[in-house]
């Protein structure tokens, strides 16, 4: 049962993320990317198998029979930390884009002339 619910949730999250990434508004694009990377994290957790008992044996009396894979949880922790950093950067960049262009609409971005002068 949990598997089906999770699969549906994952599908919805990826669909929502993709929908947002394809918007014209930069903020929505950023949210879309964030949602997709979070959906990936959830997907990663499911890879360890759901419904097993706690991975650390001998503590708190758990750990009988089918044990959930602890490695994927370590992976997800790493991915979450990385995702946190990139999301923060993407949001700052979004704000900066607004400052530079005065708009958040991707179609209204001027195509400035490149002359190779970098300052």
Partner 1 sequence: MSDLVVAPLIVALLTAILCLLIRSRSQLQRGVSLLGGGVYLVAVGLLFRAVRSDADRTLVYQVSNWKAPYGITLVADDLSVIFLALTAVVSLAALAFSVRSITAAGQRLSYHPLYHFMVVGITGSFLTGDLFNLFVWFEVMLMSSYVLVVFYSGPEHTRAALQYTVLNLLGSAVMLLAIGGLYATTGTLNMADLARRLAAPDAYNVAVAPVLGLTALLFCVFALKAGIAPFQFWVPDAYRAAPAPVAAMLAGVVKKVGIYAIIRLYFSIFAVVTIPTGTGIEIGGQGLWIGTGAWSLVPSTGGGTFLAFFGPIILVMAVVSIILGGIGAVGRDDLDGLLAYSSIGQVGFIVLPLAVAATASPGDQLFQLGIVAAIIYSINHGFAKGMLFLVSGTVSEAVGSLKFNRLGGIVERDPVLAGTFFVGALSLIGVPPLSGFFGKLLVFDVAVTAQNTVGLIVLVFALSGAILTIAYLSLAWTRGFWGAPSESVDQVNMVPTLVAISAVLALVIIGLGIGFQPLYDAATDAANAAIDTQGYVDAVLGGTGA
For 1-119, strand residue ranges (E) read none
User: What is the nearest approach in angstroms of partner 1 to the Cβ of residue 1?
Assistant: 20
In terms of DSSP H, where are the helices of 102-117? none
Which residues lie near partner 1 (CB under 8 A)? 21, 26, 29-30, 33, 36-37, 39-41, 43-44, 47, 71-72, 75, 78-79, 82, 85-86, 89-90, 93-94, 96-97, 100-101, 109-110, 112, 114-119
105 beta partners:
25
User: What is the nearest approach in angstroms of partner 1 to the Cβ of residue 70?
Assistant: 12
Whichever of 33 and 54 has its CB closer to partner 1, that residue is: 33
Whichever of 1 and 117 has its CB closer to partner 1, that residue is: 117
User: What is the nearest approach in angstroms of partner 1 to the Cβ of residue 101?
Assistant: 6
Residue in 49, 73, 52 with CA at minimum distance from that of residue 64: 52
Burial of residue 89, with CB atoms counted within 10 A of its CB: 0-12 exposed, 13-18 middle, 19 or more buried: exposed
């Amino acid at each position: 049962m949990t598997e089906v619910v999770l699969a549906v949730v994952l599908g919805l999250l990826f669909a929502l993320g993709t929908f947002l990434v394809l918007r014209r508004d930069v903020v929505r694009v950023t949210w879309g990317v964030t949602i997709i990377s979070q959906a990936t994290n959830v997907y990663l957790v499911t890879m360890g198998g759901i419904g097993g008992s706690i991975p650390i044996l001998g503590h708190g009396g758990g750990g009988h029979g089918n044990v959930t894979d602890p490695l994927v949880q370590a992976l997800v922790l790493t991915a979450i930390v990385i995702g946190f950093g990139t999301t923060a950067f993407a949001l700052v960049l979004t704000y900066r884009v607004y400052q530079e262009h005065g708009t958040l609409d991707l179609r209204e971005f001027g195509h400035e002339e490149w002359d190779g002068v970098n300052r």
